[in-house]
Each structure stands twice: as structure tokens, then as C-alpha cells.
A and B are shown apart, each in its own frame.
Chain A
Amino acid sequence: MINNNLLQLNIHLAMARSFELQQIFLDLTQKYEGDFIFDQKYIAEAVTNISESMEEIFFHVNSISGGQNIALYNRLDELKDKITGLFGNADLDIIEPPASRKSSIFDDELSSLLNQVMDLTIKYDSNHLIKAASGAKNDFTANELLIICLREILGDLENRCGNKKSHDGIENYPGTINKTPVFYPGLEKVGKIDAISLRQTVPTMPDSEQGIETLISSIDGVMLTDKYYGKSEDSNFRGHYCGLLFYSLDNLTLYIQCHKYKYLIASGTYDFAKGSYIYFMVDPTDIKESIAFGNQLMERLLEWLDFRTFKINDLIVAGIKDLTRVEVIYHLGMLGKLLAFVSAPKIRPQDELTIRKYMEIFLENII
């Protein structure tokens, strides 16, 4: 099994590349929807960047899983062949721009090429993935392959928590939570963390005081919010978190499964100014409508906290870069508050109005 330092490194790099990939997708979409002057070289360069990012993500996912996902490379090769075919086709079909397209100036073969490239890379169809799982289909877009990778990472962390059963439903949570008090190396001095139960806490470097500082920041955020909003009449729900944590002098990786969501925080906290980052991923454990509104609330709050946020179907990837160490600690605390707040059983956004109401509660009472 991969050692903890390498696991942490691979998770961080996979998250960083996934975030960059979403930025490329956003850029392509903006170019398509807006009246931009671009050429075929721009599309070719974007395709190259997508391909390189995907290969890097596959490498990290395979490093984490011990080579269990080698087939992803074949899928990518198939995808690249299709895209190369588009570039080689001189008679690109002129297709109607979708209604979402704002531009009315440039409806030409270049727009058509970009549109077809976007169809092969950005498009996401959850039904497609279900069909693929049953063997009915095996052609994936880049975004669908990305989702598979991100869920592989979350699945690996879930397995390491020994909490696979929680997929079956909330009822399983009490039985899968480690209620035994966990010893946090170095944290006994602080004595702040006593209720959250992390399945495995692994300092990946000795004497990692700074790692402890960031850990305290994020978990304190969880605890503070959970104290007020995590209460429920149903004792099965109360404050039940299952998590996995790796931290070192510079890096923090925190995986938390809480009620209806799985969260992953990957943070690099360096000493020098404007060099640190946080990547955050949220995946709901089911796809009920209430989760959709919960996701909307999460997205709004993340954006309020200055995170660049991307939604890939029901999975959210967010990131913030170029932070100072102080800013990282602040944002980790806020993320902890956010995830505990949105996961709390009391918080049930059902429409735009309740989303706004919960945003106000969060901003006025939690921050």
C-alpha cells in the first residue's frame, strides 16, 4: 500500500490538476458563448492541456489505487483519437448553436469545431456513467473520466476509514463511526478537540507544529458549528463524523464523512507569503433533491468565501490559491464551519428562499 506521504502528495496533485482542468473547461465555454476571436491553434492548445492534465490525474489516481485504474489511459486514447478526427475533418458540419449560446456573430466552422470538442470533453451525463458501469457503454468524455477519478480517490479514503457501509444509508452511520477517543499527537497540549472522532490520524512528519495549527483550525470550525447546528432529536445524527487525516509541516489532508456528504480538504500551508492553497471537494452520498439545494447552498457559501467553485454534476470542486499562511488558517476554519453547517440535519434548504435564509444564518451567526 502507498505510504502516507505519497498518498497525501498524490491527492493534492490530483486535486490541483482537476481544478485546473475545470478552469480550462470554463475558458472554452466562455470562448464559445462569447464573441471572441480565436483560431484553431487555441482549440488545439486547449485539447493538449486537457489531455496532459488528464494523464497526470490518471497517474495520481493509479498511484493511490496501486494501478487499479490503468484502463483509464485506454479511454483517454480513444477520446484523443476522436478529437484528432475532428481536427482532420475539413468538412466540419455546421451545427445549430445551443440556446444557451449568447453569441450571434460567429456561427461558423470554428464554432462548430469548438462545440464538438466541448461535446467530447466537457459534457457530463450521469446516466451515461450508469450505463457504462453495466458494460452498455464505454466511451467517456474527459469530464466523465474526471468524475470517475475523483470518486476513486474518495472511495479509497472511505475504504481506509473502513466505512464502506455508509453508502447504504444514514442508518448505518452509528455502527460505522469510531467512537473511541483518538489520540492526536501534539494536540493534548491544546485540549480543544474532544468530540470529533477521526478514524485515523497520521502525522506524516515528526514535530509538525504547523500542521497541528491548521488541523485545529479546520476541526475547530467543524466543532463550533456542530455544537449549535449538529443537534438533532435523532441521536443517530448527532455529531457523527468519520474521517481520515494526514498532516505534516506543510500539508493537511482531511477526509470527513458527515451525514449526507463526503468532504475532502487538501491544503498546502507554506511559511512564505502568497504561496499556499486549499482545494476542497464535496460529494453527496445520494442524489436526492434536497442534496441539490444543499449543494447550491454550499456553492454560494464557498463563493462568498472567495473559493473558485466548479460543479460537476452533483460533485463540487473548489479551490483557492495564492494565500498567506494566516489566510489559509482562516479559510480552513471557515471550511470546517461550512461543512458542519451544511451537513447538519437541521439545515434543509428546499428552495431559493430557504437557501437565502440559511446563507443569512451562516453569515450572521456562524462567522
Chain B
Amino acid sequence: MPDKLKILVIDDEPIVGKRLVPALEKSGFQVEFCNTGGDGIKRINEEQFDIVVTDVRMDDVDGIEVLSRVMEKSPRTKVIIITGFATIEIARTAKAKGAFDFIAKPFKPGDLRNTIQRAAEALAAEKR
């Protein structure tokens, strides 16, 4: 049986983690949650995650900065950006910096699961 995918969720609203973590764990992923960008970067420096799901607007470090740090530390990690302030500008910046995908809030857990599934397939293809 393959290892569970390791996912880090970063959002400054704890309620998002409270909702997302059980929904993703139910789908068979190993999920960790950080509620500041700074804590998220700390965890990225300590450990390698397969997928990072991050909000854009956070008080300390924004999601684009998190994305840059992930790309420096672990280029194979897929970063999925989630934001309630979805603009083409943010989407373009995120894509240019290497984000795997971009999801506007509110969204259904199923939408995120589908994107994670695609990210998992991309990771598997890169391994082959």
C-alpha cells in the first residue's frame, strides 16, 4: 500500500483548518494545519510535504511568500493556493511562481480533493 500523501494546510482562520483537516483526513491523507504563514514556513523547513495548501492573505507572511519558500526548499512539492480574494492578478502571480493550482473561496471539499488528486498524479508521474 503506498504511503499516505502528506499535506500541510496554512490559513490564518482556524475554522478553515477545523473544517478542512477532517474532510481531507477522511479521504485518506495525512494532514497538518498551521494558522500563521510563519508557522507554515517553519514546518516546511523542518519537513518535506507532498502538497501545501495555503491561503494568500495572512497577517504575518502571505501565501505568495509561502509559495516562494516552498519552491526554494522543495521544488517537487505541489502548492495549491486558496483565497477569498480571488483576482486574476493573484492567480497570475501564483502561477508564475510555480503554484500547482488556485482555488477561490468559498469552495467545496470535493473541489480541493479533485485538485489534490491531480497534484498526486503529477507527483507520481514525476517519480516514474
**A contacts, CB < 8 Å to B:** 31, 34-42, 45, 105-106, 108-110
Contact = CB atoms under 8 A, between A and B. Distances in A.
5 contacts: A37-B20, A39-B105, A40-B13, A40-B15, A108-B19
B108 A39 contact: no
A106 B19 contact: yes
B127 interface: no
B112 A108 contact: no
A112 to B, nearest CB: 11
Contact of B19 (A31, A37, A42): A37
A37 B84 contact: no
Contacts of A105: 19, 22-23, 109
Contacts of A42: 84, 105-106
B16 interface: yes
Of all A-B residue pairs in the complex, the 7 with the closest CB atoms, nearest first, are A38-B106, A39-B13, A36-B106, A110-B15, A41-B84, A42-B84, A31-B106
B84 A45 contact: yes
Among B13, B19, B108, max chain A CB count under 10 A is at B19
A41 B18 contact: no
A37 B16 contact: yes
Nearest to B103: A37
A346 B57 CA distance: 60
Given A108-B19, A110-B15, A38 B84 contact: yes
Contact of A108 (B11, B18, B109): B18
Contacts of A108: 15, 18-19
A40 B107 CA distance: 14
B13 A37 contact: no
B13 A35 contact: no
Interface string B96-122: 000000000111110010000000000
A37 B18 contact: no
A50 to B, nearest CB: 16
B109 A35 contact: yes
A131 B94 CA distance: 54
Interface residues of B, number: 19
A36 B107 contact: yes
Nearest to A30: B106
Nearest to A105: B23
A290 B80 CA distance: 53
Interface in B71-87: 82, 84-85
Contacts of B13: 39-41
A73 B1 CA distance: 63
Interface string B3-23: 000000001010110111011
A110 B18 CA distance: 10
Contacts of A34: 108
A149 B84 CA distance: 31
Nearest to A31: B106
B30 to A, nearest CB: 19
Contacts of B112: 37
B109 to A, nearest CB: 6
A346 to B, nearest CB: 47
Contacts of B19: 37, 105-106, 108, 110
Most chain-B CB neighbours within 10 Å: which of A37, A42, A45? Answer: A37
A96 to B, nearest CB: 19
A39 B84 contact: yes
Nearest to B20: A37
A42 B13 CA distance: 11
A224 B19 CA distance: 56
A30 to B, nearest CB: 9
A218 B23 CA distance: 52
A36 B108 contact: yes
B55 to A, nearest CB: 8
A250 B107 CA distance: 39
A34 B11 CA distance: 21
Contacts of B109: 35, 37, 105
Interface in B7-60: 11, 13, 15-16, 18-20, 22-23, 57
B46 to A, nearest CB: 26
B3 to A, nearest CB: 25
A102 B39 CA distance: 35
A136 to B, nearest CB: 38
Nearest to A46: B106
Contacts of B15: 39-40, 108-110
Contacts of B105: 37-39, 41-42
B16 A39 contact: yes
Residue among A34, A41, A45, A110 facing the most chain B CB atoms (10 A cut-off):
A41
Contacts of A39: 11, 13, 15-16, 84, 105
